[in-house]
Chains A and B, each alone.
Chain A
Amino acid sequence: MTDPHEPEHNKMQLKGIMGWVEYRLPWVGLLNDSVGTNYPTPRNLNYWWNFGSLAGLALVIEIITGIVLNMHYVPTAEGAFASVERIMRDVNFGWLIRYVHANGASVFFAVIYLHMFRSFYYGSYKNPRELVWWLGLIIFFLMIITAFTGYVLPWGQMSFWAATVITNLASAIPVVGTGIVQWLWGDFSVGNSLLGRFNSLHYALPVAIVGVAIIHMWALHEHRSNNPLGIDVKGPQDTLPFHPYFTAKDLVGVGVFLLVLAGLVFYAPNMLGEPDNYIPANPLQTPNHIVPEWYLLPFYAILRAIPDKLGGVIAMAGSIIILFAVPWLDTSKVRSAKFRPMYRQFFWLFVIDAIVLGVVGANAPEGNWIIIGRLATFYYFFHFLVILPVVGWIESPKPLPDSISTSVLGDKKPVAEPAE
């Protein structure tokens, strides 16, 4: 059977009903080309490459638990808090589903941050994977909006006041600001209308995330994964089929991921949450400290680092927008930090800076925290705008190995060597 019109990937020899379906809808072939034996993958990927599949798993967990929660949730200012408590008390396994959903969001963000730092360390965003990076950033942005709208739904004190603070940011925009805020609220105050639309958005945006994630993988599969050496695949000796090698490796990550999630859900389900959110929303009483969930604290710190409201909003938006320029701000042609002695130092400084910003975001903006917050915010932008381009120009990278296979097999190093 040599039909010239039949595309290369469509050569799954299946019998019976599977063959009948495959001839018409080559789904087994598609899977095989995407995560199967026909998807060549750099043989030297280390465990830092597990976070993509884990992010997908986290998304699925969030969607499934979220659909079930929404069956019982009442999106009104009067009923929301009590409906969440009903889920915790009277719905069969409701407590489990809600704790998985709430802690799943935290673990999802942790996975995404590790996935992004992997990209920073190994230069995965560089030519020709700029659009893979962009699509990932769009997912990240959608995740932030989804997580924030979700944080508001239980309608506790933190929900209400976080919604108030964040929607009020739009009022910093000159002239039209107040109008925009009221448009966001659908009312003259934070209340029922806002809760209803946040519920709607919280349900709708994950669908968009699924869509962008598919395009993210589509773009990835064109030039395939980067690898710890950051050099291109030169031939079949540099790769292994995705299945069974990387399916097996991804499953190890899945096991560890589920252990972490289960540890949180069963033994510390409220550790990452704010106690104030178990107090019903009260528009007349502002909590002492209004804080977002931990995964948004660095951005919250940047927002508060600028003494001017509009300036803070611009800085916070800028801190995410600037990430889109990273493939061009990083002027080095060498991808992996393994061969970039100078960049590697700055990578770790940036990691520290991000953690410092998180700590600053968790603390009330007083005393030294203000100064630390401003310095860390300055360094955040300095890293991208100055360090990335300049280091690329002045650094002399170490010599790159000839190929993945000689590097990996030549000196009998283990394939899956741990990252630095």
Chain B
Amino acid sequence: MVGNPNVGKTSLFNRLTGQHARVGNYPGITVERRVGTLKLPTLGAPSELVDVPGCYSLSSRSPEEQIALKSVLGFDGFPIPDLVVCVVDAGQLTRNLYLALQVAEFRVPLLIVINMIDEVRDNSIDAAQVGEVFGVPCVPVSARTGFGFDALRTAISQALKSPPWPKLQPRYPDALMRTIDQVADAFPPGWRRNVEHDRALALWALTSIEDDDELEGIPPEARERVLGVHRETSGTAMDEAVITARYALLDDLEPRFFGKVPDAHERLSATKRIDQVLLHPVFGFAIFIVLMLLMFQSLFAWSDPAISLIESAFGALAGLVTEFLPANSFRDLLTEGVIGGVGNVVVFLPQILLLFLFIGVLEDSGYMARVAYLMDRIMRVLGLHGRAFVPMLSGFACAVPAILATRTMERQRDRLLTMLVVPLMTCSARLPVYTLIIAALFPPTNIFGALPVQGLLMVGMYVFSMLVSLIAAWVLGRTVVKGKSIPLILELPPYRLPRISTTLSMMWQRAASFLREAGSVILVCTIVLWALLSFPKPSEATPTRAADSVQQVVDRHAAATAIEQSYGGQLGKLLEPAIAPLGFDWKIGVGIIGAFAAREVFVSTMGLVYGIGDVGDDDTPLREKIKRETRSDGSPVYSPLTGLSLMIFFALACQCISTLSVVRRETRSWRWPMFLFGYMTLLAYAASFVVYQGGRLLGF
């Protein structure tokens, strides 16, 4: 199924395939691939429907853009389709039919579906005429109301049994036809099928191939021939000749498609009126800011109770296991490794689900494009695209769903740049670390009489992370993730009421695919970290029973020693000379290692290291311990300067396996997560170093 973006393909797809759909990826490419099965009347076996990402044309410059072509023709490992369903929008018929015309030129079995027929009043479109002009079946439907779906299913099953071959061909100038035949000859036999197909392929090559394109799998002779042609007639002139010929044909035929003369502005009028408010320079912007704040606030407020619920559920589960199994390493593996690991994954679900829900509503209603429009100017200063705004904003809650949200961006390069910068935003997991440090090491006083030091510091950390991410975006965009940024050319679709069932099902499908793939990595890493901090076990101390309160202290002390002697602890000691210039000691080193599983784990790991036991919500005992901790010479280990250095380290370091795992999944390679980890760690170390050593020089 192909079609322009925003024609309601997803709703149509969902209506046809119901619950039998899956979200996945195309190999080597970070584009969503939706496949579903449907049972059609009069056909025995079920059919498979593949939803091809929306596109305006088959011409391509990159592997992502080539997907539509490969899907339609069945090249390069893609199966040859038995039928191509082209979905068009009733309100923009001519422009949408441009794609259908391209498919028709290839002479593949085609069926045209005119969606959103309910939005064009007075039934002014003559679907039968459209079908007759193309020589294929044409069915008007409304995915929103369900109108026309019986006819659609029947038409599809008939088309599968008896393939409809399109007969519409634009007329190209003779000179162009000669060039087309020349290029067609340059394709090797495996690519050629019949005259029309070969010509269409040549046309595609002439309007796609360039010196610096990123196309994959083009036969070298064909590429050479096309580049040769371009040396005589420029690629641009070729594009213009071909595209204007196609539109000339469509514009000529247009009067036949409309039974009655429709009012072009009827459908757009409601949208226009809404946009006069929502895109108003002042009010529109204000409304936008309010909406974003609300969205962001709900993301926190609504997910918090769910997160606590999940945490207590898993805590209870661990408690159960602790009760029923004998105390040994296996039990610990289960509780802290497996249950802890799965918990670490599931705990992301509330925020992911909510974020996908919001994004789904924004996209389906059409407002998302307006967000990109309003923010483009600002985002562009950073070398980012307007569409990067929502993912960046989501990064304030959690980088994981934010990175998943970059899928709304078309171009790989923009998506990658956004993914590399989002982890620098102050996510909610850093807050417990900041809270602990600020409360332990900075006085609850005011400076300048009125401004609380502690509050200012917190705000300062947010501002700091925003500044660094802006600078990082600017730098990375010019160096590592260089590339022509695409022009904006954003379509602002008409406002539509999203279909709840479609939005919800997309949300579930995306969340499920996250759980499947990122989840396994996070689980494994949690187990590994647990092992590092639990082994080797210290030799069993002789059990002398003491009074309960004393026993508790003894137990905690034993636990602290156990950590010190574990591999993790040894690693911490190994790290100590490296992190000493930042003002850290080995205990903080262990905390940092533990924080890789999840940043909040820093607090609980520190609790263990200091023999506090379960830190939980009340970290006062830990704070006290940190304040009073002294070195052998009596000087305090932790000073406000150390605290600042530590916070800055946390602000910039990539201490989140979940983030790395999601980036790996989204970029389909190890290179980018490693780069992300590397550059952020370097940045964190450098900043921390400057702050600590600079502070010492200044006498703090």
Bound pair: A and B? no
